[in-house]
Structure 1
Amino acid sequence: MRIRTYTRISTDEDHQPYSLEAQDQRLGAYIQSQEDWVLTGRYTDRMSGSTLDRPDLQRALADARLRRYDLLLVYRVDRVARSVRGLSQILEELDRAQVVFRSATEPFDTATPAGRMMVQLLGIFAEFERATLIDRVINGMERKAARGGFLGGPVPFGYRVQPKTGLLIVDETERPVVELIFAQYVEKRLGTRSVAKWLNERGHRTRAGRHWSHVTVFNVLRHPVYAGRIAFRGNTYDAMHKPLVNLPTFEAAQRLLDERGEDFSKRRTNNTDYMLSGLVSCARCGNHYVGAAAHGRSARYRYYVCFSRQRYGEHGCQADRLPADELDEAILQTMLATYADESRMARAVADACQRAEEDLPQHRHELATVEAVIAKTERAVERYFAAFEGETLSAKRLAGRVAELDERLNELNTRRQELLDAIDHERWTGPTETDLGDLKETIEEAIRAGTPAQRKALLRMLVASITVESREAIHPVFRLPAEPPVRLMSTMVDPVVQHANRFARIEAFPICLP
């Protein structure tokens, strides 16, 4: 039986109850005690068990789907997941791949119904332990807040942290800027955008050296730390640090913010109202365009604006604003015309297939080399463990050398997965004429009868990029789907982005807005 192990620690190994070395030793001994078990690989993560987005865990699941091993062995169940939901997802995926899951220190495995039930129960206890830890941390932070101590995190502009005490102390170089922000907003009655513009024109910058924006100004005005208060979980407490503004000024700023409705977190937004948000990029500064609106005397005007210009004004970027309705319609019509151009599509398919075919031999050769090095490195790890068990190698030297080899194996396995993914994409042969005809019909249907959400989904599927030089020079690039798109009107599933070939891009004719 082909066995692979999974080990994990959260932070500093020296402060973990189950070090990677201890887990590896126990797993190795357990494997040797079983007949016909052959260790074929190891997976190791140094991350929290609260998330499943761990590199080697995902690699283990990917290898399971490819049937590269028969059993996944862990030291304890909480090494693989600390929540019932996460554990269930992992077990379901392993079960679909017909891979058994077993714990070396807990007498349960998923080869039997009883074992599967007990693994679920262990996951419940792991989740309970994590929740208890979170409660203890929150209670500790609440006690610290009640004493007026700084709770950590980003240090507010205008302060520094005293290393010995952990308390906030005033930064005399930044303090005047904080006082100016409150004075301009409360006394001069400027809005947050006007305050940001006023600061930028006079050369003031944030701690990171960036321009001030209405958001960063708002964050200063809202933060109770400047009034000598510490906020935690809806409560505020008297702080131990020195305030930068008096309480009446701070309270006046809060009333003015509420009256003007400048709390952005409470504003309702409708992302589907801007179909191209996140797809349009600025050729001047590289940032994305975002949706914005303005109210005239008789109507509401929608437009796209470069993020740098919206946040920092013309000091950030001088790119043109683009009328949203006109740009949305121009992109949809250009997309329809591009996919209806049979000769252009045929050239795109041929070029993409040729480039994929040219890379395939090189990637296959590299994959063979990487897998040979992985096998050699895993054999070296086994020899080190054999030397340790034969008492010819000390534990200290074993740990150091195996740690180096494990790091190397992680790099090699990551590269192997990248090559496997690339080879899968390079076997792509392109859509058929029937597929392209269905795609054209889907686009026409979405333009004619689709909802804004359906049109936005279509654009997410087929738009690779839209680069704006000016109103007169907008350059869309579309994706060539690796398989037929599903009907947006029924399922709204998006297979194209997941399976699009990395070579398959179609540059459309530039767009000029009136």
Structure 2
Amino acid sequence: MTHEAAPESVTPRSPKAMPRAKRRKGTPVTTGPGMRAAIYVRLSRDTDESTSPERQRAACEAICEARGWEVVAVEEDIDVSGFSRGLERPGLQRILARLADLDVVVFFKIDRLARSTVDFAEIMQIAETQSVALASAQEPLDLTSSMGRAMARVIAVFAELESDTIGSRVSNAHEHLRREGRWTGGRVPYGYRVVPNPNGAGRVLEINPDEEKVVHGIVDRVLAKESLMKIATDLTKAGVVSPGHRSRQPNGKRSDSERWYTTTLRSLLTNPQLLGQVIEDGKPILRTDGLPLVTRPPILDMRTWHALQDELTRRSDRSERRREGTALLRGVLFCSLCSGRMYTYVAGGRTRYRCIGRLKQRQAGQDVDCYGPSVAAEALEAHVAKEFLRGIGHMPVVKIEKKVAEDFRPQIRQAEEALKDLEADRYERGLFKGEDGAHRYAAQYAKLEERLSSLKARQSDAAPGGVEEIPTGKTHAELWDDSDTAGRRDLLLNAGTFVEVAPAQRGGKKLDPSRISVYFGPEGFIRRAEAEGKDPESATLMLIDSDFN
């Protein structure tokens, strides 16, 4: 029998990483030598020595060296939360972007890679589709097997639970301190300053007298109908420190800019912290009765706050924007053909008023019955001013102040808003979960309803108020001379001025007075209400606040 020669012995070569093209998609790789590894390091805050970046990296490098893996990349996310940022972390994204060049991703522990089970499962799925293994330096898991991946998910669940527990403890501790009136850090609300707690440990907020004056000045100007743009410009010119400037913010988001903006003013004026309320995650913390918790002295009283919010809401309505920069007869001048308001435009360098009813009717698909008459602005304004001063210029201007002996409407409004917020917390934001949550929700809701019912009963029995006429000591003519365009327009509106423009009967450059009808007082209020499609009875309410009551 012939025997075949034995094959020559061959010295085995060191295994190399498998070519990516020959690897079946989704097939887990073996964790053998020669694999290309990327190390991922994450730390929420660079202060914990037990999981410091250096310790994490050293542990990951040790496992790579022990298994013969080649470290081709190291990515770090320092001061980055794995819970709040999810997968949107720069270092993690760089690793996920180059999975095609890797065989394994190494991390210190699963909670360094992901803080939620959903995020960990997504990372695992992305890695599996690229045939990339995951390896933990501290946990004895084989993530290339189904059992190992199942165990990893269990660990991720406990990591998420630990994160939630820590977050809940911190949140509860902060809320406890806030309910005691303590300051827990963050942006300092404008109008306040941080000082040592006079009654014990920690810090509290107290009113900053200088900033309080600024707030009251801003509120007075807003309620006097001044534009936010003008107020912001004046504050910047005066060198008043803006709310976000680093000179008054100890930490957090700060700015080097000393400019005030309209957005800055709106944010300041709509912040309920001006009422002394305690805010958490953008919402007031509630007491057990469902009303906002107040632990610091308020800068604004409730009546002023509601008047301010009503004014800001009015300004957000485009139909009510008729302040500075608009024409004298804006809101006063109407077309006799379609009863529509007339607006200014410039033609040949001159300003004219015209009706845009024709355009509106076409856009609405209606029959056009208005050709859009126009009239020269300068001549018309002079004519109306002359009629106004001739008719009521001699009359004294009397400020009407309504006196209410008892008024619980601000508290009623606050309770109603608290009820709405409570309902949103339960049914929209998903709070008050579980049986205990349902009991707490029902208790708060019952207390709020009881308070609202009590306030409405007290309001119904409130002593009737009256109307007090306070002389200003000036006539309409005197105030007209002292006012700018916006002030004069307010005089016209408050006097019930209604001006109607009829179509021109003949051509010519001069104003034809026969086209213009001017009304004041009760008749003007009623005609304006009818032209605007409002209930004529609303004119009665206008008269209460006018000089023709």
Bin of the TM-score, shorter chain as denominator length: 0.3 to 0.5
| TM-score normalised to structure 1 length | 0.45
Largest Rg, 1 or 2: 2
Q: Which has the higher helix share?
A: 1
| TM-score normalised to structure 2 length | 0.42
